[in-house]
Amino acid sequence: MNRTPTDPFLPPQRLLLGPGPSPVAQEVLTAMAQPTIGHLDPAFIGLMDELKAMTQTLFNTKNEATFTVAGPGSVGMDACVLNMIEPGDKILIARNGVFGMRMSEVASRGGAVVVPLDFEWGTPVDPAIVDAALAKDKDIKFLAFVHAETSTGVLSDGKALGAVAAKHNVMTIMDCVTSAGGVLIEMDAWGIDVIYTGTQKCISCPPGLSPVSFSPRAIEHIKARKTKVLSWFLDVTQVMAYWGGEGARAYHHTAPINSLYGLHEALRRLLLEGLENSFKRHRAAHLHLVAGLEKRGMEMLVAPACRLPQLNTVKIPAGVDDPKVRRTLLLDHGIEIGAGLGPLAGKVWRIGLMGEGARTESVDRLLAALDQIMAKEHA
Q: Please tell me the distance from the alpha carbon of residue 100 to that of residue 106, in angstroms, as a whole number.
A: 10
Angstrom CA distances, 86 to 114, 215, 235, stand at 12, 18, 13
Verify binding: residue 121, ligand PLP, rule CB under 6 A.
no
With CB atoms as reference, the residue minimizing the distance to ligand PLP is 73
Verify binding: residue 198, ligand PLP, rule CB under 6 A.
yes
Verify binding: residue 275, ligand PLP, rule CB under 6 A.
no
Neighbours of 35 (CB within 10 A): 7
| Residue number with CB closer to ligand PLP (195 or 236) | 195
Contact segment (CB under 6 A) with ligand PLP among 24-32, 51-59, 175-183, 326-334 equals: 175-183
Question: DSSP labels for 121-177?
Answer: TTS---HHHHHHHHHH-TTEEEEEEESEETTTTEE--HHHHHHHHHHTT-EEEEE-T
Verify binding: residue 162, ligand PLP, rule CB under 6 A.
no
Verify binding: residue 150, ligand PLP, rule CB under 6 A.
yes
Contact segment (CB under 6 A) with ligand PLP among 29-37, 70-78, 121-129, 155-163 equals: 70-78
Contacts of 192 (CB under 8 A, 6+ apart): 158, 162, 172, 174, 215
Chosen residue from 85, 104, 154, 175 binding ligand PLP by CB under 6 A? 175
Verify binding: residue 99, ligand PLP, rule CB under 6 A.
yes
Burial class (CB in 10 A: 0-12, 13-18, 19+), 211: buried
To ligand PLP, the closest distance from the beta carbon of 337 in angstroms equals 15
Count the site residues for ligand PLP by CB under 6 A.
Answer: 14
Contact segment (CB under 6 A) with ligand PLP among 46-54, 84-92, 159-167, 172-180 equals: 172-180
Chosen residue from 112, 146, 218, 306 binding ligand PLP by CB under 6 A? 146
Verify binding: residue 18, ligand PLP, rule CB under 6 A.
no
Verify binding: residue 74, ligand PLP, rule CB under 6 A.
yes
238, HSE (Cβ side, Cα atoms, 13 Å): 13
Chosen residue from 28, 107, 174, 177 binding ligand PLP by CB under 6 A? 177
Verify binding: residue 207, ligand PLP, rule CB under 6 A.
yes
Angstrom CA distances, 214 to 120, 172, 207, 357, 372, stand at 30, 10, 22, 29, 48
Verify binding: residue 72, ligand PLP, rule CB under 6 A.
yes
Contacts of 369 (CB under 8 A, 6+ apart): 329, 333, 335
CA nearest neighbour of 357 among 15, 9, 5, 11: 15
Instruction: Report the interface residues with ligand PLP, using CB under 6 A.
Output: 20, 72-74, 77, 99, 146, 150, 175, 177-178, 198, 200, 207
